[in-house]
Amino acid sequence: MTLRTRLGRAREALGARLADVRGRDEVDAATWDELEEALILADVGVSMSTALLARVRERVGADGVSDGADVIDLLKAEIIGRLDGVDRSLSERASPSVWLFVGVNGVGKTTTIGRLGHLRVSAGRSVVFAAGDTYRAAAVEQLGLWAERAGATVVRGAEGADPSSVVFDAIEHAAARGADLVLADTAGRVHTRRNLMDELAKVRRVAEKGAGSVTETLLVLDATTGQNGLVQARQFTEAADVTGLILTKLDGSARGGIVLAVEGELGIPVKFVGVGEGLDDLVPFDPGEFVDALFEMGE
């Protein structure tokens, strides 16, 4: 097989399976196999896919559906049904409210802060960025550039400083200026590093000690993430009490299906999605759009 045909095959794999199902006028074993495969290719995971399809099977039996396209619609409806009616707002009930951004390395925490900051500033809020990533090379400069773009101020500590104290200082600073919102960056960390997870727990605790209150702890997940996403969500929740998810890089070819498992199993709602690297490329999560994208046919 040539590379080109392989490339074509892989890329269209998901779409091809769905097109196949859609074109069929009976619902047989192959239909279910192909639906399962489509879900797996979207990183939904075996266990979640099985659960979803079991429900759709029941409905297909009950409704007497025999058309492939209708089965896909039932599957979409099943997923949307699970995502609908969930509160996906970000809370600003404290003054100042503190939103803490956590996640593994390179998922888009800093970029998300820049864009979310931009959204809140545009909505008339006064926003402070806390440069809590004191570890990564040039992380503070990166956040500083985003603060400029977003129209936020940034509070930084020395390189290698204790992130808790940087975040605490930023909250005090915000309170003193009467700012509404503190967006606190943290260094990316893999959840297997015990000491780093403890450090994160401490940031979360210390942030509550001053003038403000942590109203959101947002776990940033990269849409390319596979089944490890669920493990990440569990571990970060344990350490820092995650209240919501941000799903980034959804503009790529990955579909981010793992969030279905995270939301389904841990009850952590997806709040925003990243759809590019620009200032405006962050949008509220919309279940309908997400599910459409999940089932989008190949190009």
Partner 1 sequence: MFENLTNRFEVILRNIRGKGRLGPDEVEVVLREIRVALLDADVHLGVVQTLQDRIRERALGEELSGVLNPGQQVVRIVLEELTGILGGETMPITFASKPPTVVLLAGLQGSGKTTASAKLARWFKANGRNPLLVGADLDRPAAVEQLRTLAGRIDVPVFSQPGDPVSVAAAGLVEARRLGRDVLICDTAGRLAIDDDLMAEVARIAAVLEPHYTFLVLDAMTGQDAVNVAEAFHQRLELDAVVLTKLDGDARGGAALSVREVVGRPIAFASTGEALEDLEPFHPDRLASRILGMGDIETLIEKAEETFEKEQAEAAAARMLEGTFTLDDFLEQLRQIRRMGPVGDVMQMVPGLGQQIQGAEAELDEHRIDRIEGIIHSMTPDERTDPDVIDGSRRARIAAGSGTQVSEVSRLVRQFREMRKLMKQMGGAGSKGRGRGPKRGRKGRRQGGGGRTTPSGPVKVQNKGLALPGLGGHGVEGAQDLGNPGTFEPGGFLPRS
Binding site residues, ligand GDP, CB under 6 A: 103, 105-111, 188, 220, 248-249, 251-252, 274-277, 281
Residue 110 sits in the site that holds Mg ion (CB under 5 A): yes
Residue 192 sits in the site that holds partner 1 (CB under 8 A): yes
Q: Which is nearer to ligand GDP, 45 or 108 (CB)?
A: 108
CB of 137 to ligand GDP, least distance (A): 11
Q: Residue 105 region, left (φ>0) first, then alpha (ψ -120 to 50), else beta?
A: beta
Residue 86 sits in the site that holds partner 1 (CB under 8 A): no
Binding positions for partner 1, 257-296, rule CB under 8 A: 258, 277
Tokens of 212: 């403000």
* Angle of the 258-266 helix axis to the 68-83 helix axis, nearest 10: 50
Q: Which is nearer to ligand GTP, 31 or 111 (CB)?
A: 111
Q: Are strands 127-130 and 181-184 parallel, antiparallel or unpaired?
A: parallel
Interface pattern 135-154 for ligand GTP (x via CB under 6 A): -x------------------
The window from 19-27, 108-116, 161-169, 282-290 that contacts Mg ion (CB under 5 A) reads 108-116
Q: Are strands 181-184 and 97-102 parallel, antiparallel or unpaired?
A: parallel
C-alpha closest to that of 82 among 103, 55, 117, 112: 55
Residue 251 sits in the site that holds partner 1 (CB under 8 A): yes
Cα-based torsion angle of the residue sequence 281, 284, 289, 294 in order, rounded to the nearest 10 degrees: 70
Tokens of 70: 């209708």
Chain centre to alpha carbon of residue 131: 21
Residue ranges binding ligand GTP (CB under 6 A): 105-106, 136, 188, 190
